[in-house]
A and B are shown apart, each in its own frame.
Chain A
Amino acid sequence: MAWGSNLDSDARRGLMLVSPPLVYAVLLLALPLAAIVLFSFWSQDFVTVNTTFTLNNYQRIWNEPIYGLLLQRSLFVSGAVTLVTVVLAFPVAYYISFHVDPKRKSLWLFLITIPFWTSYLIRVFLWKVILGYNGVINSGLLSAGVIDEPLTFILYNINAVIITLAHAFAPFAVLPIFVALEKIDRSLLEASQDLGEGKVMTFFRVTLPQAMPGVAAALVIVSIPTVGDYVTPELMGGAGGKLIANMIQTQFLQLNNAPLGAAIALVAMAAVVTAILVIYAQGKLLIAVYSELNGTRPVFDIFILCVTMLFLQVLVAAALLRTLGGTLGSGVAFFVGLVLYSIAILLLLKNRRR
């Protein structure tokens, strides 16, 4: 071969260095993940595991409403938490990046990360103290005379779960957005203002688009782990606030039905990844439509058009789900359809831009 042996030796060194962590990840991550996939197609016979291939676990998840309900609720909570976290975090990240003296930026980041590193369980429990019947908020409001009896809608329901998770994942949203904002060349903002855009339009036309990678990272980093948390719903959710992760935990540790638990875990993962993919593709599509039409019509018209487009898509998807019927196959087909549809959109947009 003609290439330098040096390149090869560099590459060899790199591979040699990376192989211990890689082997570790293969042994303790890839293999276990493969194992739960396998496991989800087996079944539990009292104490032993029956290794005959079966779709029973998935059939149960599809047919018994409790799983669908929990999954729906989990996705809703995850979405709500993500939305709340990112919306709350963006101004803070923006403030630190654009308004804090550079010397004090790392102090701010440090302050934001500290609560994250303090005992998670205790933090969740303390939210119970804050939101509880005799909690900080209720006693505070009572003594101030704002309310006559303690508020009950803030503990042991989904709201409490959302507030607590939004608190727990705050730094995961602030940091990626901050990093994206930091990368923005400040002279671009001056250029935009120099070219006649006001501060607000500069934010929307220059700052926000460039912060999008950070926002996207924040969305992913917050939404996926929230689906897997069972501590917060257990402590804060009460009876109506249990989520899919609680069900997984119950199947594994209490009902001792590991195969079903594995299947639920996989379905939950597939659902959240699909949801993210669909949202990502839709976001790209809307941005593409917007940039295509930008300048040709008033912004408001384009906005209406985009909303209508989204609404129609949701309608079509819902109608499709209905007509597919209630079998497990139709459920899988719908899932796969969503994924393929999103991938098709992404590929089309990619080719279009070149």
Chain B
Amino acid sequence: MRISVLGIYAILYLIFLYAPIVLLPIFAFNDATIIAFPLTGFTTGWFAELATNTALHGAVRNSLFIALMSAVIATGLGTMAARAGATGEFPFKRGIIGFIMLPLVLPEIIIAVALLVILVQILGMNLSNWTVIGAHVLICTPFSIAILNGAFQNLDPSMEEAALDLGETRLSAFRLVTLPLVMPGIISSLLISFTISLDEFIIAFFLTGSNPTMPVYIWGLLRFPASLPVIMALGTILVTLSIILLTIAEYFRRRGNARAGIKDTGGFL
């Protein structure tokens, strides 16, 4: 087999992309406190330490709750927007959808400070998990729309019409026909939104209440060299989880495409 220069470059690029991640498990199982070569020996102690860290457990619980709520709300909003985008024209359609998609290109720090100002300084609210959820929904919705747009646009509009024609109302036609057909997209959107929220730090750092989220907690640990191997262990688990979740999401997205009978052309974005 002939490998082109371009192919070698692409593989080098992949190595560049994966270089940091490959290091994670290496140091997670290394028994030195200092994160550096040469490696000293094998241990699973860092993982054991994770199990006893109650502060971390609290942060993880928080993050899971925030991620779950954000994913559900963002996917709900994303479904509505994507469906609206796929149905006929309405006034200011492009402008409205564009505005909802805006957080995709807005620096996260702008969203963070804008929400901080309005929630705390103007409305005098207390920061809590819900303030983080509010912001995460905002940044997850565009991703949800991007994923579901594909699902709704691949949907033959006569499917729903056929259901209407066979006696169903708009609502039952949506439930019986449209929803099952876009379900893979919805699951994929839930998983992606969940992953984004779980990993988001910049906004959470501004808006988190007295209970930190997991990334905020990790950020705190990064200052203490002694806790770094534990972070490596945690990171290893997170990466593994992310890959599993994404693989499931990708599987559902492809199954959705296969159902709609279209050829697979791209990734999530």
Which A residues lie within 8 Å of B51 (CB)? Answer: none
Which A residues lie within 8 Å of B266 (CB)? Answer: 105-106, 109, 175, 178-179, 182
Distance in angstroms between the alpha carbons of A249 and B110 in the assembled complex? 10
> Is A122 close to B, CB under 8 A?
yes
Contact residue range for chain A?
A: 35 or more
- Contact of B222 with A125 in the complex, beta carbons under 8 Å: yes
Provide the B1-38 mask, 1 if CB < 8 A to any CB of A, else 0. 00010110110011011111101100100000011111
Q: Which residue of chain B lies nearest to A226 when distances are taken between CB atoms in the complex?
A: B107
Which A residues lie within 8 Å of B109 (CB)? Answer: 228-230, 245, 248-249, 265
Q: Point out the residue from B4, B84, B103, B113 that lies within 8 Å of A18, measured CB to CB.
A: B84
> Is A340 close to B, CB under 8 A?
no
Q: Point out the residue from A106, A167, A171 that lies within 8 Å of B20, measured CB to CB.
A: A167
Which B residues lie within 8 Å of A53 (CB)? Answer: none
Distance in angstroms between the alpha carbons of A20 and B222 in the assembled complex? 39
Q: Point out the residue from B99, B102, B110 that lies within 8 Å of A228, measured CB to CB.
A: B110
- Contact of B242 with A118 in the complex, beta carbons under 8 Å: yes
- Contact of B9 with A92 in the complex, beta carbons under 8 Å: yes
Q: Which of A94, A129, A262 has the most CB of B within 10 A?
A: A129
Which B residues lie within 8 Å of A349 (CB)? Answer: none
> Is A279 close to B, CB under 8 A?
no
- Contact of B38 with A175 in the complex, beta carbons under 8 Å: no
Q: Point out the residue from B87, B141, B254 that lies within 8 Å of A10, measured CB to CB.
A: B87
- Contact of B267 with A18 in the complex, beta carbons under 8 Å: no
Q: Which residue of chain B lies nearest to A269 when distances are taken between CB atoms in the complex?
A: B110
Which B residues lie within 8 Å of A345 (CB)? Answer: none
Given contacts A106-B267, A118-B21, contact A14 B9 (CB under 8 A): no
Distance in angstroms between the alpha carbons of A44 and B45 in the assembled complex? 49
Which A residues lie within 8 Å of B10 (CB)? Answer: 91-92, 95-96, 108
Which A residues lie within 8 Å of B108 (CB)? Answer: 225, 228-229
Chain B nearest Cβ from A174, distance in angstroms: 9
Chain B nearest Cβ from A246, distance in angstroms: 10
> Is B177 close to A, CB under 8 A?
no
- Contact of B88 with A227 in the complex, beta carbons under 8 Å: no
Which of these binds chain A: B52-60, B64-72, B198-206? Answer: B198-206
Chain B nearest Cβ from A182, distance in angstroms: 6
B side interface size, CB within 8 A: 94
Provide the B95-129 mask, 1 if CB < 8 A to any CB of A, else 0. 01101101111111111011111110110000000
Distance in angstroms between the alpha carbons of A55 and B76 in the assembled complex? 42
Which of these binds chain B: A27-35, A153-161, A310-318? Answer: A27-35
Provide the A161-180 mask, 1 if CB < 8 A to any CB of B, else 0. 00000010011100110110
- Contact of B138 with A252 in the complex, beta carbons under 8 Å: no
Q: Point out the residue from A12, A117, A134 that lies within 8 Å of B34, measured CB to CB.
A: A134
- Contact of A253 with B206 in the complex, beta carbons under 8 Å: yes
Q: Point out the residue from B78, B107, B246 that lies within 8 Å of A245, measured CB to CB.
A: B107
Q: Which residue of chain A lies nearest to B109 when distances are taken between CB atoms in the complex?
A: A228
- Contact of B107 with A21 in the complex, beta carbons under 8 Å: no
Distance in angstroms between the alpha carbons of A29 and B119 in the assembled complex? 12
Distance in angstroms between the alpha carbons of A255 and B253 in the assembled complex? 46
- Contact of A130 with B267 in the complex, beta carbons under 8 Å: no
Given contacts A25-B138, A123-B21, contact A88 B88 (CB under 8 A): no
> Is B166 close to A, CB under 8 A?
no
- Contact of A121 with B219 in the complex, beta carbons under 8 Å: yes
- Contact of A22 with B99 in the complex, beta carbons under 8 Å: yes
Residues of A12-61 contacting chain B, CB below 8 A: 12-15, 17-18, 20-22, 24-25, 28-33, 35-36, 39, 49
> Is B255 close to A, CB under 8 A?
no
Given contacts A175-B267, A245-B109, contact A228 B27 (CB under 8 A): no
Which B residues lie within 8 Å of A119 (CB)? Answer: 199, 215, 218, 235, 238-239, 242
> Is A126 close to B, CB under 8 A?
yes
- Contact of B100 with A22 in the complex, beta carbons under 8 Å: yes
- Contact of B202 with A35 in the complex, beta carbons under 8 Å: no
> Is B195 close to A, CB under 8 A?
yes
> Is B231 close to A, CB under 8 A?
yes
- Contact of B20 with A130 in the complex, beta carbons under 8 Å: yes
Q: Point out the residue from B9, B80, B105, B263 that lies within 8 Å of A20, measured CB to CB.
A: B80
> Is B187 close to A, CB under 8 A?
no
Chain A nearest Cβ from B139, distance in angstroms: 10
Distance in angstroms between the alpha carbons of A32 and B78 in the assembled complex? 21
> Is A112 close to B, CB under 8 A?
yes
- Show 6 A/B contacts (Cβ-Cβ < 8 Å), sorted by A: A25-B138, A119-B238, A121-B218, A122-B239, A129-B27, A176-B269
Apart from A178-B266, A245-B109, 13 more pairs, CB < 8 Å: A21-B81, A24-B77, A29-B111, A35-B114, A35-B118, A36-B110, A36-B113, A112-B17, A118-B242, A126-B21, A134-B37, A167-B20, A229-B107
